[in-house]
Amino acid sequence: MQFIDIIKNSPLRIFDKSIGGLQAGQLGVLVSRSGTGKTGCIVHIATDALMQGKKVIHVSFSENVNNTIDWYREVFKQMAMATGRTSEDVYDEISRNRVILSFPSSAPIESVFGTVSAVMDAQGGDVSTLILDGYRLTVADFKDIKAIKDYAKAKNLNIWASVTPVRKEAKIDESGIPDTILPYMDYIDVLVGLKTEDDAKKVRMTVAKANVKSDSKDMRVSLDPTTMLVIEN
């Protein structure tokens, strides 16, 4: 099945342009308070890669990995509606290039990467995207963040991490960026903040760091509060 039209017309093309794309060897971070839609957004990003025939490993640091699987099924359902195929057909075709792994939030990053490397070897080593969903970056040791960057470069991966501020005293700015993430900025290539609008009609997405210079932080995309998928403003 070809998804050329869906890929070409996806709001993620605007998202990519706003951040200058996330390149192999780089770390991108989606950050917001809990319940804002990071998992739905990051699954949308992963599914876009899958539609392009790329392989994805999704690492969930949540005890409820079924929630992650449900998000993928929802995105596949939306795709099926656009292609006129059944969601089962879409799921079977695309999910063969996706592996979901589950770890406790306390798992050492070295252990996570040990398992990921084994899966990559089994996949033939041509995985392009690694998702770290729910990683506790704002309380991580600097050596762990450096290890993530080094791993991305060594394996030629682009790594997306979804992050929720852990410390209650964290101060959140108007873009949804917590001050507790600022010490790690040297290790982050792309940083996107998510924040629910006051009228709750959408979740605003703001670029705080990107591969392209811009006078505006507005990404011209947001999250649909119902599906938590990326939509054009």
Q: What is the mean pLDDT of the chain?
A: 89
**Position 209 confidence tier, pLDDT thresholds 50, 70, 90:** very high
Predicted pLDDT of residue 6: 83
- 202-210's contacts with Cβ under 8 Å and 24+ in sequence apart are 202/231, 202/233, 203/32, 203/36, 203/37, 203/228, 204/175, 204/176, 205/15, 205/41, 205/230, 206/175, 206/176, 206/177, 207/18, 207/19, 208/175, 208/177, 209/185, 210/18, 210/19, 210/20
Cα torsion 227, 133, 5, 81: sign: negative
Q: Rounded distance, CA 23 to CA 41, Å? A: 18
Predicted confidence (pLDDT) at residue 199 exceeds the cutoff of 80: no
Residue with tokens 């951040």: 19
Q: Rounded distance, CA 116 to CA 75, Å? A: 24
153, two tokens: 């470069």
Predicted confidence (pLDDT) at residue 218 exceeds the cutoff of 80: no
Query: Which of 42-56, 62-76, 78-92, 106-120 bottoms out in mean pLDDT, i.e. has the lowest?
Result: 78-92
Q: Report strand pairing: 218-223 vs 127-133.
A: unpaired
Predicted pLDDT of residue 216: 63
Predicted pLDDT of residue 215: 61
Domain chopping of the chain, boundaries? 4-232
The torsion defined by the Cα of 196, 197, 203 and 204, in degrees rounded to 10, comes to -110
| Greater model confidence, 228 or 140 | 140
CB-facing half-sphere around the CA of 204: CA atoms within 13 A? 16
Beta bridge partners of 222: 204, 231
Note the pLDDT tens digit of each residue in 1-53. 467 888 888 899 999 999 999 999 999 999 998 888 899 899 999 999 998 99
Q: pTM for this structure?
A: 0.92
Q: Which SS3 state, helix, strand or coil, does residue 36 take?
A: coil
Note the pLDDT tens digit of each residue in 96-135. 899 999 999 999 999 999 999 999 999 887 899 999 999 9
Q: Rounded distance, CA 128 to CA 157, Å? A: 5
Q: Rounded distance, CA 170 to CA 113, Å? A: 28
Total number of residues shown for the chain:
233
The CATH fold assigned to 4-232 is Rossmann fold (3.40.50)
